[in-house]
Amino acid sequence: MLLSVFLLLLFFLSCAGPQRGEGDHVAVRWSDERAAIDIEILTLLEHNQYGRVVALADSAIGAGHGDPRILGQKAQALGSLGRYDESIAVFEKAIIGDYQNCENHLNFAVMLMRAGKTGRAITEFMVAKRFCPPNRLPLINRNLAVANIKLGESDQAMQYVRDGLRIDPLDPYLRGLEGMLVADSDPARAESLFVRLRQAGDVDPEFLYQFGLLLLRTERSGEAVEVLSAASKRRPGDSAIQINLAEALSRARRDDEAETVLRSLLDSEVGRDATRKLARLLFRQGRYAEALEYYRALPPTPESMDRIAMCLHGLGKLDEAIEWARRALEARPEWPAAMVNMAVILAASGELDEAESLLIRVLELEPDNMTARINLDRLRRARANEPSRHR
């Protein structure tokens, strides 16, 4: 894949916050109370206090302030909380109330991208282009570029980058995105674009973040730590920067520092992701009891159930491990990774026939799965030697 679109989205999602006076179609005379509510909501959004935004917006709407702007702000907060269906419904109501409102279309599109509804997001970005002022067009073009990258349309993505650069040739994010688009075909040029921009002077923390993501993608973890640390110092409250800094530290095997960062994020907006990464870090270190505690705190997805099974295996609790491994496969049948892990647990429990059957099935699904092949060879060698041990 051309680049990690998920990581890119983490960067661009912060770019479309509501801005009073930009793209508002109807000039509205607000009461002092309504103006104070708007200021408070903007402050809460800036500090990622999305639950409080929803509560305040509901209270204001109940008091008769249900205008399209506050509906859009509530919808934005709902989307940031992962409540996508509710967010879509509220955004649609806000847009019906004022179809020519730039910010609602723009924030709706960003939320749709986060929810994985890329095609619909592109439609909303194109509508936003019609109603947003010129100074918002570079932002819209870079988001359209990201959406097209996600759809595998790299040529169209580059066209949006060029359209944006014609409006603002110095936009560092578009330049950075240009570098990421050519990273596979011309990595030297890509890095040159990033380095020149970074050396240009007082670099925005969002650009440093994007540069750090590129370094992570190209497996230059040590340099990514340096760049993401610089971004974090300039924007210490940005949990997206922090979570990727922790990832860079972990890949650089600076485990103590990674653990410290992840623990600081457990109660943040990225708490679930931090919990998952912390559990993974602890598991890699062989700290199975601690890892198990954090995996149990996650929603019971097939992935977390598989990890619980492997933690229990590491602790020697094989019967319980088999139970969790079966639950993982019941939730996601014929998942090769979980089948291999279950086979390992079964073999450790002496259930060699079932273990062998699982590994054979994995190879039917994925003939090139070397982990399954190596484990199957080991199991068969062990079985071949079994009679001799009983003579």
Domain end position, chosen among 298, 327, 347: 298
User: What is the pLDDT confidence band of residue 347, given thresholds at 50, 70 and 90?
Assistant: very high
Tell me: do 382 and 371 sit in the same domain. Answer: yes
Residue 11, domain member (yes or no)? no
pLDDT over 90 (residue 117): no
- What pLDDT is attached to residue 17? 40
pLDDT over 90 (residue 325): yes
Mean pLDDT, range 301-326, rounded to an integer: 95
Strands (E), the chain: none
- What pLDDT is attached to residue 31? 80
* 46 vs 310 pLDDT, higher one: 310
Q: Contact 103/38 with Cβ under 8 angstroms? A: no
* 362 vs 146 pLDDT, higher one: 362
Please tell me the number of Cα atoms within 13 Å of 53 on its side-chain side.
26
Mean of per-residue pLDDT scores for the chain? 83
pLDDT over 60 (residue 298): yes
Tell me: do 358 and 374 sit in the same domain. Answer: yes
Residue 126, domain member (yes or no)? no
Domain end position, chosen among 298, 324, 339: 298
- What pLDDT is attached to residue 376? 92
Tell me: do 293 and 305 sit in the same domain. Answer: no
Tell me: do 364 and 282 sit in the same domain. Answer: no
Mean pLDDT, range 312-320, rounded to an integer: 96
Mean pLDDT, range 368-379, rounded to an integer: 91
pLDDT over 70 (residue 196): no
- What pLDDT is attached to residue 195? 65
- What pLDDT is attached to residue 221? 87
Tally of domains in the chain: 2
* 370 vs 9 pLDDT, higher one: 370
Residue 327's domain comprises: 299-391
- What pLDDT is attached to residue 32? 82
Q: What pLDDT digit, counting tens, does each position of 228-246 carry?
A: 998 888 888 888 889 999 9
Q: Which amino acid is at 248?
A: A
* Two structure tokens written together for 201: 């002077």
The DSSP string of 186-222 is: -HHHHHHHHHHHHTTSS--HHHHHHHHHHHHHTT-HH
d(CA 189, CA 194): 9
Q: What pLDDT digit, counting tens, does each position of 2-38 carry?
A: 333 333 333 343 344 433 334 444 445 678 888 888 8
Mean pLDDT, range 360-381, rounded to an integer: 91
Residue 290, domain member (yes or no)? yes
- CATH for 268: 1.25.40.10
Residue 350 burial class via C-beta count within 10 angstroms: exposed 0-12, middle 13-18, buried 19 and up: exposed
**What b-and-e string marks burial along 208-220, b requiring 16 or more CB atoms within 10 Å of the CB?**
bbbbbbbbbeeeb
The count of other CB atoms within 10 Å of the CB of residue 7 is 18
Q: Is 122 helix (H, G, I), strand (E, B) or coil?
A: helix
Q: Is 174 helix (H, G, I), strand (E, B) or coil?
A: helix
d(CA 107, CA 171): 20
Which long-range contacts (C-beta less than 8 Å, at least 24 apart) are formed by 116-123? Answer: 118/147, 118/150, 118/151, 119/151, 121/147, 122/147, 122/148
Tell me: do 342 and 275 sit in the same domain. Answer: no
pLDDT over 70 (residue 377): yes
User: What is the pLDDT confidence band of residue 227, given thresholds at 50, 70 and 90?
Assistant: confident
- What pLDDT is attached to residue 391? 41
The DSSP string of 295-358 is: HHHS---HHHHHHHHHHHHHTT-HHHHHHHHHHHHHHSTT-HHHHHHHHHHHHHTT-HHHHHHH
Q: What pLDDT digit, counting tens, does each position of 63-108 carry?
A: 888 899 999 999 999 988 888 899 999 999 999 999 999 999 999 9
- What pLDDT is attached to residue 219? 77
Q: What pLDDT digit, counting tens, does each position of 137-191 carry?
A: 988 998 898 788 778 787 898 999 999 999 988 787 787 677 767 765 666 666 6
- What pLDDT is attached to residue 29? 67
User: What is the pLDDT confidence band of residue 198, given thresholds at 50, 70 and 90?
Assistant: low
- What pLDDT is attached to residue 70? 92
- What pLDDT is attached to residue 235? 83
Domain end position, chosen among 251, 266, 298: 298
In the chain, what percentage of residues exceed pLDDT 90?
Answer: 49
Residue 25, domain member (yes or no)? no
Residue 143, domain member (yes or no)? no
Mean pLDDT, range 112-125, rounded to an integer: 87
Q: Is 42 helix (H, G, I), strand (E, B) or coil?
A: helix
Q: Which residues contact 333 (CB under 8 A, 6 or more apart)?
A: none
- What pLDDT is attached to residue 23? 42
Residue 359, domain member (yes or no)? yes
- What pLDDT is attached to residue 10? 32
